[in-house]
């Protein structure tokens, strides 16, 4: 049974499950009581093994021997960072590559921008410039990397509720624990307003732009509500992702539990692995099944690109690492890759492997990456 499960999970990892396989996989998961979180962990472990097996299999083919020897050499180096990269050409998927950084080179590094906290009185604190622990409000402490609020004494609940706003710029990220114990991860270009303590019958926060991932502390008597310009998301205790899209649409992805997505007269209740997009004109909420890992990987400091053009991949890497891209040959822009990469990996190693499995070559000079064939 476990051998069959391993085989089916491997097929799922490489997107080659038939309808029959998918049905059998659901049966095995139910029989073995494997929930979504346990299944994600199993996929991660099997992926690591499959990487090695597939590379060793390809190494046996003479036509790939030279390139795959280079991959194998990379694999056995001490682990510092990892990137998972596929390239799709028609129906062929080349092996997944694990990149590990050991060589020190003068290459662009991730640009970490300052995160701001706007207090009730309008004063601004640059959070990442704080050294050691510092009290921000009467119930909040920061160490520069995260902000932690604690619940106020019940005797203080009669006072006017104060609000704070976390503003994360482009190239930034942050983590906050709210007064009720809810954990919030902030992606870049995000702004969230929230009370320093929750009082009343509900817990309400206001996302004006950007993307957040929440692990909501369960409290059946006090529902948690995320307000956005184009709808609200209400929960009791769960894990989900919310993103304000550029066209004023709002996307909600459920990881655990259930959430209710509302916009005026329209509403839906999501199940795990479902993704709801609220339109910006009509009261329409579109729900689809998604790969949750692909959407929330940013929370774990990863970039994820599924069958994406090289130009788009390099655009996002350039924004994060702070380099400029110059193309000597425009043909390579449209080449598609499947990439999962650590946001803090060393740029040169990532580009080396993309070069080996694709047609593009890269030359780095200062903060300029030149792409050619």
Mean pLDDT, all residues of the chain: 78
pLDDT of residue 99: 40
Range(s) of the domain holding residue 372? 35-108+298-373
Q: What is the mean pLDDT of residues 129-153?
A: 83
What is the tens place of the pLDDT at every residue in 80-107? 334 444 444 343 333 333 444 333 445 6
What is the tens place of the pLDDT at every residue in 308-330? 899 999 998 888 888 899 999 88
Alpha-carbon distance 117 to 192, whole Å? 10
Of 170, 199, 228, which residue is a domain's last?
A: 199
Of 255, 290, 325, which residue is a domain's last?
A: 290
The model's confidence at residue 194, banded by pLDDT at 50, 70 and 90, is very high
Could you tell me if 134 and 142 are in contact, meaning their C-beta atoms sit under 8 angstroms apart? yes
The model's confidence at residue 109, banded by pLDDT at 50, 70 and 90, is low
The residue with tokens 């976390």 is 166
Q: Is residue 14 part of a domain?
A: no
> In 1-101, which ranges are continuous DSSP H helix?
2-13, 19-31, 36-59, 65-75
Q: What is the mean pLDDT of residues 17-37?
A: 81
Q: What percent of the chain has pLDDT over 90?
A: 33
Alpha-carbon distance 97 to 330, whole Å? 25
Task: For residues 208 and 180, state if they share a domain.
Answer: no
Alpha-carbon distance 318 to 320, whole Å? 5
Task: For residues 341 and 358, state if they share a domain.
Answer: yes
Q: What is the mean pLDDT of residues 20-49?
A: 75
CATH number where 245 lies? 2.60.120.1440
Task: For residues 40 and 96, state if they share a domain.
Answer: yes
Give the single-character DSSP code of 351.
H
Tell me the longest C-alpha to C-alpha distance in the chain.
76
What is the tens place of the pLDDT at every residue in 60-71? 344 444 343 333
Of 249, 271, 290, which residue is a domain's last?
A: 290
Length of the chain, in residues:
373
In the predicted model, is pLDDT for residue 5 greater than 70? yes
What is the tens place of the pLDDT at every residue in 216-258? 999 989 999 999 988 899 997 799 999 998 788 899 999 999 9
Domain count, the chain: 3
Lowest mean pLDDT among 159-168, 188-197, 252-261: 159-168
35, two tokens: 């929930």
Q: What is the pTM of this model?
A: 0.69
Q: What is the mean pLDDT of residues 336-354?
A: 82
What is the tens place of the pLDDT at every residue in 277-293? 997 766 788 999 998 98
């Amino acid at each position: 049974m476990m051998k069959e499960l391993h085989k089916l999970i491997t097929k799922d990892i490489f997107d080659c499950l038939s309808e029959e396989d998918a049905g059998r996989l659901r049966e095995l998961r139910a029989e073995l009581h494997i929930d979504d979180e346990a299944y994600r962990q199993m996929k991660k472990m099997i992926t690591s093994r499959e990487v090695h097996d597939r590379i060793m299999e390809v190494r046996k083919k003479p036509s790939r021997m030279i390139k795959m020897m280079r991959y194998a050499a990379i694999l056995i180096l001490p682990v510092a960072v990892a990137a998972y990269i596929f390239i799709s050409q028609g129906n062929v998927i080349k092996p997944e590559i694990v990149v590990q950084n050991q060589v020190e080179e003068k290459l662009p590094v991730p640009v970490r921008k300052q995160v701001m906290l706007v207090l009730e009185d309008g004063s601004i604190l640059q959070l990442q410039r704080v050294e050691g622990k510092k009290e921000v409000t009467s119930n909040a402490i920061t160490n520069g990397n995260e902000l932690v609020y604690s619940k106020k004494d019940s005797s203080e609940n009669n006072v006017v509720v104060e609000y704070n706003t976390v503003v994360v710029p482009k190239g930034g990220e942050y983590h906050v624990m709210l007064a009720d114990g809810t954990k919030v991860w902030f992606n870049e270009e995000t702004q969230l307003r929230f009370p320093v303590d929750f009082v009343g019958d509900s817990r309400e926060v206001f996302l004006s732009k950007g993307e957040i991932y929440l692990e909501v502390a369960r409290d059946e008597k006090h529902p948690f509500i995320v307000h956005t310009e184009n709808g609200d998301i209400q929960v009791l205790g769960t894990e989900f992702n919310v993103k304000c899209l550029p066209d004023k649409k709002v996307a909600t992805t459920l990881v655990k539990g259930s959430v209710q997505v509302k916009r005026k007269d329209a509403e839906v209740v999501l199940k795990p692995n479902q993704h709801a997009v609220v339109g910006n004109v009509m009261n329409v909420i579109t729900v689809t099944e998604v790969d949750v890992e692909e959407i929330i990987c940013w929370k774990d400091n990863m970039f994820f690109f599924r069958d994406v053009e090289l130009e788009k991949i390099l655009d996002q890497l350039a924004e994060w690492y702070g380099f400029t891209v110059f193309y000597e040959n425009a043909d390579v822009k449209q080449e598609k890759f499947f990439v999962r990469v650590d946001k803090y990996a060393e740029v040169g190693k990532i580009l080396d492997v993309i070069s080996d499995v694709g047609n593009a070559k890269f030359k780095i000079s200062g903060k300029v990456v030149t792409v050619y064939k």
